[in-house]
Structure formats: structure tokens, C-alpha cells
Amino acid sequence: MHHSDLKERDENSADIFIELIAQGLGKAPGADLWRHLMAVDLSFFQSPLAEEIRDEGRAEGRAEGKAGAILRVLDRRGIDVSDEDRERIASCDDLDMLDLWLDRAITAASASEVFVED
């Protein structure tokens, strides 16, 4: 059964099923996949969990976009970036840190200057 099928049948039941499955998965490896799948279109759900999943999806998208921008700026400027630094940038979900790194990437002479501690 697809989540849109649930919506057509009974929105309240769909909401309950989504919440129960998410709670049952807890921190299991499948929990992130479940949240990702349910984030596709939860606009019709108004539960706190649905809103949390939408917020996580938006934040994750912003982080991915900023990480991509940092790597693009460094690439276009001809700055070598190690696989380790690429992973550090790509895996970061701190939007403030990503903003700082993006600002630094514009003028940094090397990738290490992007990460310098203040």
C-alpha cells in the first residue's frame, strides 16, 4: 500500500501508521530510509512527526546544496580537495558551519584554509 492510497482511504489512519512505523523503527538502520520515503509527499499529513520529517528534509536539502556549492567553488578555483575533505564537507549538516566554510572557500588558497580553527 502506497502512502497516497492511505490518504485516499483514511488520512487519520495513515497518520497513525506512519507514526507507529517510525516509532517502531527507532534508531534502526531502516529508520532513515523510512523517513526519506515518507518525506516524498507528506504535505497532506499534519502530525508533529510529519512536520518533523518535512523540516529534516528541508534542512538536509539545504546542507547538501551548501556542501555542493563549497565543493564547486573550490573546484572552479582550482583548489585540490582530498577525498577526506570532500567527505567532511558532504557529511556536514551544520548549516552555520557550511556557511562559514563557503565564505572561506571563496578566498582560501588551499582546502585546509577552509577548515582552519578560529
Q: Are residues 35 and 68 in the same domain?
A: no
Count Cα atoms within 13 angstroms, Cβ side, for 78: 0
d(CA 24, CA 85): 35
What pTM did the predictor assign?
0.52
Q: Are residues 88 and 40 in the same domain?
A: no
Residue 100 neighbours by CB under 8 Å, 6+ apart: none
Which helix (H) or strand (E) is 95 found in, with range? helix 95-107
Q: Are residues 34 and 81 in the same domain?
A: no
Number of domains, the chain: 2
C-alpha distance from residue 17 to each of 9, 20, 43, 84 (Å): 13, 5, 16, 40
**What is the extent of the structural domain holding 77?**
58-118
What are 76-116's pLDDT values in tens digits? Answer: 999 999 999 999 999 998 889 999 999 999 999 999 999 98
